[in-house]
Amino acid sequence: MNLEILLSQKVTETIKTLYCKEYSQAISFQKTRPEFAGDITLVIFPFIKISGKGPEQTAQEIGNYLKEHCKEVENFNVVKGFLNIEISAAYWLEFFKNISQNKNYGFAEKSSGKTIMIEYSSPNTNKPLHLGHIRNNLLGYSVAEILKANGHKVIKANLINDRGVHICKSMLAWKKWGNGETPQSSGLKGDHLVGKYYVEFDKQYKTELNKLIAKGIPIEEAEKKVPLLLEVQEMLRKWEAGDNETIALWKMMNEWVYEGFEKTYKALGVDFDKIYYESQTYLLGKSMVEEGLQKGVFYKKEDGSVWIDLTADGLDHKLLLRSDGTSVYITQDIGTAIERFKEFPELNSLIYTVGNEQDYHFKVLFLILEKLGYKQAKDCYHLSYGMVELPHGKMKSREGTVVDADDLIEEMIQTAAEKSKERGKTEGMDDAQLHQLNNMIGLAALKYFILKVDPKKKMLFNPEDSIDLNGNTGPFIQYTHARIRSLVRKAQEQFSNYSSVATSLPGKEEISLLKHLYYFPQVVAESGEKFDPSLIANYIYDLAKQFNQYYADVAIFKEENETVKALRIQLAEATGKVIKNGMQLLGIQVPERM
């Protein structure tokens, strides 16, 4: 049984017996700080009103009672208002027997019966992916894995932003200045080729804008009159009208981009169950605007544009349809959401993995869905993550201040390869194995670097210093795993008996590792509730660190007592398993040797 639940019951019983009062509130425990003896700590302050005594005396009394009446409690000590409880080695041994037999330790055993759709990635098809997208993809993928581990049915969705004025910008620039360049003719990856023209558009736009400003036209007015902008708007109208030539160009360029994305996704190790295209959902959004108008939720201005008044909810007026009848971002999102409600009536939750710069957008979106009468609006959740910043500020695709995803992945693999070579511990591996290992290590460094940070917080990436491979990093954890596997291999060769059930009581060092393993299921559950992979990342790091300490302190194979030796090897093996399972939830693979 779970230790906290067990002790909670005992404490409630204790209070009742000692002080003749019911304590109905939840009793909370915390981990005992390492500088004190004990495994788990009860904070006494909430009980002093009931006991009518000082914290130390209350703690003594509760501790005495627990020690006498609870066989799991071996001993206790009191420091100020804290009751530090030592759990018996016998309890830890029982616990260990359970986890070493459970292959999926930490993961939910039963289905929760819930279905959750998580949307992530959602790229625009006008430029290649950059570091910001990497955070999005890794976060979305990891949260999906974590939710599965919590017993939910998960649908991973990718909504491709394949249409809109930004897409037309790349198209127009290519049409004007591309001279028929293709991925084949240029040797460029498709998404990079298209991105090149997106940047080109911006460059030309600015040139034209400056010409207008030089003529003395006020900036605000000039911005709307740049010929290139008028052309691109015309192109969007043609696209929405189904103009053959425009559609053909659009299809061709989007195909280039998809081929490029496919490679990046594969390199990152992310995947999807369901792909949506905005080009196929925006019309539904438009019809929803009609519906909203009829219901009186929306209103139309004289110029024909459609709006919603959200001032009563503390927000602003929001545009839903342009005066020329074309749709905007939120129009499409309304359509997509409603389509999903209809397609998956069983959906318990719909999670959008999108950066926090869109907090306002999603607030508005969910409010509109609610006002349109969709009760599923309350099941929608914006998984809002912080931006990845560079030392000089935000990344901007148009201005070319981006860290390209493909470049960064390649660079990390290179760094890993150099380090592997330098260490020279991989002899006996053929080229393919070595390549696979370096891939694994390079990606672990990148993924862990991003996922160890609380998703809600913005994070900084400095391209000048490459991502570390030592310290609190993915490769550190991988290394610990490789060491453990090496131990286990050796045990299998030299000591065939090691896998028999452990019978030796764990010592102090073993218990501190066991305590750590004990918390894994709780961490998986909490990270699932909070949609926060960083909890798992930090947990695994602490576990690996603790194991390395153990490894340095205790010589496992030197131990003469066979049952003690067996316990240690099994403990190492269990630790390796938790590391592997935890890293899997982060989308990170761990090697058998490195």
Partner RNA sequence: GGCCCCGUAGUUCAAUGGAUAGAACGGAAGUUUCCUAAACUUUAAAUACAGGUUCGAUUCCUGUCGGGGCUACCA
- C-alpha–C-alpha distance, residues 547 and 588, integer Å: 19
Least distance in angstroms from the C-beta of 380 to RNA:
17
The contact mask relative to RNA for 178-217 (x = CB under 7 A, - = no) is ----------------------------------------
Q: Contact between 30 and RNA (CB under 7 A)? A: yes
Least distance in angstroms from the C-beta of 586 to RNA:
14
- Single residue of 24, 345, 558, 560 touching RNA by CB under 7 A: 558
Least distance in angstroms from the C-beta of 169 to RNA:
8
Q: Going edge to edge, which strands form the sheet with 459-460?
A: 393-394, 388-390, 459-460
- DSSP strand E in 107-146: where? 115-119
Q: Contact between 458 and RNA (CB under 7 A)? A: yes
On whether the CB atoms of residues 439 and 370 are closer than 8 A, the answer is no
Q: Contact between 8 and RNA (CB under 7 A)? A: no
> DSSP for 189-226?
-HHHHHHHHHHHHHHHHHHHHHHHHHTT--HHHHHHH-
Positions 247 through 306 that interact with RNA (CB under 7 A): 278, 301, 303, 305
Of the pair 147, 328, the CB lying nearest RNA is at: 328
- Which range in 265-273, 292-300, 336-344, 544-552 contacts RNA by CB under 7 A? 544-552
349 φ/ψ angles, rounded to the nearest 5 degrees: -160, 145
- Which range in 128-136, 314-322, 366-374, 499-507 contacts RNA by CB under 7 A? 314-322
Of the pair 249, 488, the CB lying nearest RNA is at: 488
Least distance in angstroms from the C-beta of 273 to RNA:
22
- Single residue of 50, 267, 319, 403 touching RNA by CB under 7 A: 319
Least distance in angstroms from the C-beta of 536 to RNA:
12
| Site residue total, RNA (CB under 7 A) | 86
Give the CA angle between residues 208, 211, 212 to the nearest 5°: 95
Per-residue tokens: 505: 């009581």
> DSSP for 412-452?
HHHHHHHHHHHHT--TT--HHHHHHHHHHHHHHHHHHHHHT
- Single residue of 68, 234, 309, 316 touching RNA by CB under 7 A: 316
186 φ/ψ angles, rounded to the nearest 5 degrees: -100, -20
Of the pair 72, 532, the CB lying nearest RNA is at: 532
- Which range in 106-114, 179-187, 291-299, 322-330 contacts RNA by CB under 7 A? 322-330
Of the pair 177, 557, the CB lying nearest RNA is at: 557
- Which range in 246-254, 451-459, 502-510, 512-520 contacts RNA by CB under 7 A? 451-459
Of the pair 149, 167, the CB lying nearest RNA is at: 167
- C-alpha–C-alpha distance, residues 571 and 543, integer Å: 12
- As beta bridge partners, residue 275 has 158
- Which range in 139-147, 190-198, 452-460, 496-504 contacts RNA by CB under 7 A? 452-460
- DSSP strand E in 256-348: where? 274-277, 299-300, 306-309, 317-321
Least distance in angstroms from the C-beta of 435 to RNA:
13
Least distance in angstroms from the C-beta of 303 to RNA:
4
Positions 428 through 447 that interact with RNA (CB under 7 A): 441
Least distance in angstroms from the C-beta of 224 to RNA:
8
- As beta bridge partners, residue 327 has 321
The contact mask relative to RNA for 495-534 (x = CB under 7 A, - = no) is ---------------------------------------x
109: amino acid identity, one letter: E
H or E segment and range at residue 513? helix 508-518
- Single residue of 19, 105, 381, 551 touching RNA by CB under 7 A: 551
Least distance in angstroms from the C-beta of 186 to RNA:
26
Least distance in angstroms from the C-beta of 77 to RNA:
9
Per-residue burial over 355-386, b = 16 or more CB atoms within 10 Å of its CB, e = otherwise: bbebeebbebbbbbbebbebebbebbbbbbbb
- Single residue of 81, 112, 403, 522 touching RNA by CB under 7 A: 81
Residue of 404, 483, 414, 486 whose CA lies nearest to 443: 414
- C-alpha–C-alpha distance, residues 454 and 461, integer Å: 15
Positions 146 through 175 that interact with RNA (CB under 7 A): 161, 164-166
Positions 119 through 148 that interact with RNA (CB under 7 A): 124
- Single residue of 538, 570, 581, 589 touching RNA by CB under 7 A: 538
Determine whether 411 is exposed, middle or buried from the number of CB atoms within 10 Å of its CB (0-12, 13-18, 19+): middle
- C-alpha–C-alpha distance, residues 262 and 268, integer Å: 10
Of the pair 97, 490, the CB lying nearest RNA is at: 490
- C-alpha–C-alpha distance, residues 331 and 327, integer Å: 6
Positions 467 through 496 that interact with RNA (CB under 7 A): 468-473, 475-476, 479, 482-483, 485-487, 490
Q: Contact between 464 and RNA (CB under 7 A)? A: no
Per-residue tokens: 195: 């991105």
3-class DSSP string for 83-103: EEEEECHHHHHHHHHHHHHCC
- Single residue of 17, 500, 549, 561 touching RNA by CB under 7 A: 549
Per-residue tokens: 549: 């300490």
8: amino acid identity, one letter: S
Q: Contact between 414 and RNA (CB under 7 A)? A: no
Least distance in angstroms from the C-beta of 102 to RNA:
25
- C-alpha–C-alpha distance, residues 373 and 377, integer Å: 9
Of the pair 176, 394, the CB lying nearest RNA is at: 394
Q: DSSP state, 458? A: -
Positions 349 through 388 that interact with RNA (CB under 7 A): 356-361, 386-387
Least distance in angstroms from the C-beta of 476 to RNA:
4
